[in-house]
Amino acid sequence: MRNSTKLLILLAFSLVFCGLYLFQGLNGSYDYALPRRAIKVVAMILTGVAVAYSTVIFQTITHNRILTPSIMGLDSLYILLQTVLIFFFGSTSFVLINQQFNFMLSVGAMILFALLLYHFLFGKGNRPIYFLLLVGIIVGTFFGSISTFLQVMIDPNEFLRVQDKMFASFNNINGDLVWWALSILVITLIIGWRYINELDVLSLGRDTAINLGVPYQSVVKIMLILSAVLIAVSTALVGPITFFGLIVANLSYQFFNTFKHSVLIAGAALMSVIALVGGQWMVERLFSFSTTLSVIINFVGGMYFIYLLLKESRSS
Amino acid sequence: MIQVREITKFYGKKAVVEKVSVNIHRGKITSFIGPNGAGKSTLLSMVSRLMDADTGEVLLDKSKVKNMKSNDFAKRVAILKQSNFMNVKLTIRELVSFGRFPHCKGRLHEEDERMVDQALEYMGLIDMQEAYLDELSGGQRQRAFIAMTIAQDTDYILLDEPLNNLDMKHSVQIMKILRQLVDDLGKTVVIVLHDINFASVYSDRIVALKNGKVVKDGVTNDIITSDSLREIYDMEIPIQQMKDCRICVYFNS
């Protein structure tokens, strides 16, 4: 089967699930239910695209297929930020009630953190990229420890609010935020599109990429910033969900078996739309909210991850 | 001509390449030889901007490499390192097509396809162009990578120990192809070699390094003498003339 056919099939599936989610059981509630469902669908599509895209580019520049951008510590920073806000200002304060302010603050903090990290690490000379990952893990763990420390001391009722933020959820999404997130996503995709062929070359390794005239250092930096922005936006919108990217990226590599990032990224993005919209449809209509989407994703994703590890260890 | 001027590289406090100045002449094969740890690969990496020099500069046809755009440099100089690990599944043809990237940015035109065909033909890979790289033997894979640098169509081709892990037949085959590239197409080849006999038989000029410094630099016949080799390798190496080849008999010295 040709790759364009495969992409069309995936596109058809994602349209079917979007249609199902939007119109199944609507009972003529066009004014009330439809706009609400539409907002959710847009949120799921943009989260899916952001997570898939950022994971594929992150794995390409690190030459590692079992990493996700969460290793940079961005979602730990998000949870720390929310914990600190609730700890110091309380869950009824302006910073938590006003979702737009909270969104901007979270996105800003995560992007600023990523830029600072890159600046310190790439400021002088050619540090290997693994150095960046190590620092990311250490800083992420540090953020996680502070969060846990604060969560232990916090009022139990307030802790429930923190817990809400710790898991991705599509159930209460603010309509205005979706448009903000969407515009950031579109800008990132437009910038990213110009580098799509450079990514193919980067997957051949640093030396070959430099030999072929790719300005390695600056392209890697731009790609890291793009993936940080995407992760920041999707995390601030629905919560930490980067583990999901690992699944769709690897499914895409297996399904398409090509080095072309235009195909790989489109495939991964479509697969995540199918998984998110289809999964949410099942959660809402089949399980009638008795479980959450992130539980299903982590369950299925965890099994796939174990399969990947077993497969890799067998082949080497 | 590539001019290397007073180039230095430190690993920690140790200078692995120290104030090296070398000229690489157009239309010749220049071999870098020397004992392990002499700084040959480091020097080649700095010339090809895979590594930044701590001090000194490299000039390509009189303009500073540091100020050149990465893509412009890639149209004039190709570099092939020893290890080419990849976790991407590629066919030989796809790999060789990547050699056209500096020229076409990933969208291959007719002209590019022709260059890819030529490079495959040159390395004798036409019949197996659809084979995947991970199914190939070491020699075939090395040839595929060299074909990529040929498709890149640069004036200068730099190779870091291309004969590593190859048997005699494939080594000779690759050296003959490099010789052809220089004689037929007017390319300039710089090559890091371990086997001094390959350097002696195939290269026009030899640069010998030792402890990060150039100890000898000249035409092949001036370097392949017992006196020079003693200085480079600290070994007594008798030299036998066989027809017009000078062979270093170092096995029992």
* Residue-wise pLDDT tens digits, A254-292: 888 888 999 999 999 999 999 999 888 888 888 877 777
Judge whether residue A27 has pLDDT over 80: no
> What gap in Å lies between CA A269 and CA A282, rounded to an integer?
20
pLDDT for A164 equals 80
Instruction: Considering only the beta carbons, identify the residue of B52, B74, B149 that sits closest to A213.
Output: B74
pLDDT for B84 equals 65
| Percent of chain B whose pLDDT exceeds 70 | 98
| Percent of chain A whose pLDDT exceeds 90 | 29
pLDDT for A46 equals 92
Nearest residue of A to residue B99 by CA position? A212
User: What contacts B7, CB < 8 A, 6 or more positions away?
Assistant: B17, B19, B20, B21, B43, B46, B53, B55, B56, B57, B58
Whether residue A207 lies within 8 A of chain B, CB to CB, comes out as yes
Q: Which residues of A touch B80 (CB under 8 A)?
A: 211
What band does A241 get if pLDDT is binned at 50, 70 and 90? Answer: confident
* Residue-wise pLDDT tens digits, B51-107: 888 888 898 888 888 888 888 889 999 999 876 667 788 899 999 999 999 998 878
- What is the average pLDDT across B153-181? 89
* Residue-wise pLDDT tens digits, A47-97: 999 999 999 999 998 888 888 888 888 889 999 998 998 888 887 887 777
Domain membership of residue B186 (yes or no) is yes
pLDDT for B124 equals 86
Where in the sequence is the domain holding B172, given as residue range(s)?
A: 2-248
Whether residue A197 lies within 8 A of chain B, CB to CB, comes out as yes
Whether residue A66 lies within 8 A of chain B, CB to CB, comes out as no
Q: What ipTM was assigned to the predicted interfaces of this complex?
A: 0.88
Antiparallel, parallel or unpaired: β B245-248 and B29-33: unpaired
> What gap in Å lies between CA A28 and CA A222, rounded to an integer?
47
- What is the average pLDDT across A227-236? 89
Optimal mutation site among A62, A127, A199, A212, interface B, most CBs of chain B within 10 A: A212
- What is the average pLDDT across B160-174? 87
Instruction: Considering only the beta carbons, identify the residue of B49, B73, B84 that sits closest to A205.
Output: B84
Measured between CA atoms, how close is A96 to chain B, in angstroms? Answer: 45
Nearest residue of A to residue B151 by CA position? A212
DSSP state of B91: B
Measured between CA atoms, how close is A219 to chain B, in angstroms? Answer: 12
Q: CB–CB of B99 and A212 under 8 A? A: yes
Nearest residue of B to residue A204 by CA position? B86
pLDDT for A257 equals 83
| Percent of chain A whose pLDDT exceeds 70 | 97
Residue B165 identity: N
> What gap in Å lies between CA B161 and CA B163, rounded to an integer?
5
Whether residue A126 lies within 8 A of chain B, CB to CB, comes out as yes
Antiparallel, parallel or unpaired: β B29-33 and B188-192: parallel
Judge whether residue A114 has pLDDT over 90: no
Nearest to B195 by CA among B31, B69, B61: B31
CATH number at residue A189: 1.10.3470.10
- What is the average pLDDT across B123-133? 89
Measured between CA atoms, how close is B173 to chain A, in angstroms? Answer: 23
pLDDT for A126 equals 63
User: What contacts B1, CB < 8 A, 6 or more positions away?
Assistant: B23, B24, B25, B26, B61
Residue B171, helix vs strand vs coil: helix
Domain membership of residue B253 (yes or no) is no
Domain count, chain B: 1
Domain membership of residue A316 (yes or no) is no
Reduce the secondary structure of chain A to three states and give it as a string: CCHHHHHHHHHHHHHHHHHHHHHCCCCCCCCCHHHHHHHHHHHHHHHHHHHHHHHHHHHHHHCCCCCCHHHHCHHHHHHHHHHHHHHHHCCCCHHHHCHHHHHHHHHHHHHHHHHHHHHHHHCCCCCCHHHHHHHHHHHHHHHHHHHHHHHHHCCHHHHHHHHHHHCCCCCCCCHHHHHHHHHHHHHHHHHHHCCHHHHHHHCCCHHHHHHCCCCHHHHHHHHHHHHHHHHHHHHHHHCCCCHHHHHHHHHHHHHHCCCCHHHHHHHHHHHHHHHHHHHHHHHHHHCCCCCCHHHHHHHHHHHHHHHHHHHHHHHC
Measured between CA atoms, how close is A193 to chain B, in angstroms? Answer: 13
Domain membership of residue A250 (yes or no) is yes
> What gap in Å lies between CA B75 and CA B102, rounded to an integer?
6
pLDDT for A13 equals 93
Q: CB–CB of A203 and B80 under 8 A? A: no
Under 8 Å between Cβ of B209 and B38: yes
Q: CB–CB of A211 and B90 under 8 A? A: no
Where in the sequence is the domain holding A236, given as residue range(s)?
A: 3-307
pLDDT for A125 equals 60
Q: CB–CB of A259 and B89 under 8 A? A: yes
Domain count, chain A: 1
Q: CB–CB of A213 and B72 under 8 A? A: yes
Whether residue A123 lies within 8 A of chain B, CB to CB, comes out as no
Q: Which residues of A touch B85 (CB under 8 A)?
A: 205
> What gap in Å lies between CA A8 and CA A192, rounded to an integer?
22
Domain membership of residue A279 (yes or no) is yes
> What gap in Å lies between CA A90 and CA A235, rounded to an integer?
21
Q: Which residues of A touch B132 (CB under 8 A)?
A: none
* Residue-wise pLDDT tens digits, A124-178: 666 777 888 888 889 999 999 999 999 998 888 888 888 888 877 787 777 888 8
Following DSSP, what letter does each residue of B8-67 receive, concatenated? Answer: EEEETTEEEEEEEEEEE-TTSEEEEE-STTSSHHHHHHHHTTSS--SEEEEEETTEEGGG
- What is the average pLDDT across B1-16? 89
Domain membership of residue A313 (yes or no) is no
What band does A315 get if pLDDT is binned at 50, 70 and 90? Answer: low
Optimal mutation site among A67, A208, A308, interface B, most CBs of chain B within 10 A: A208
Interface of B with A (CB under 8 A): 48-52, 69-75, 78-81, 84-90, 94, 98-99, 101-102, 105-107, 149, 152
- What is this structure's pTM? 0.87
List A residues 215-234 in contact with B (Cβ-Cβ < 8 A): 215-216
Q: Which residues of B touch A204 (CB under 8 A)?
A: 86, 88, 98
pLDDT for A9 equals 93
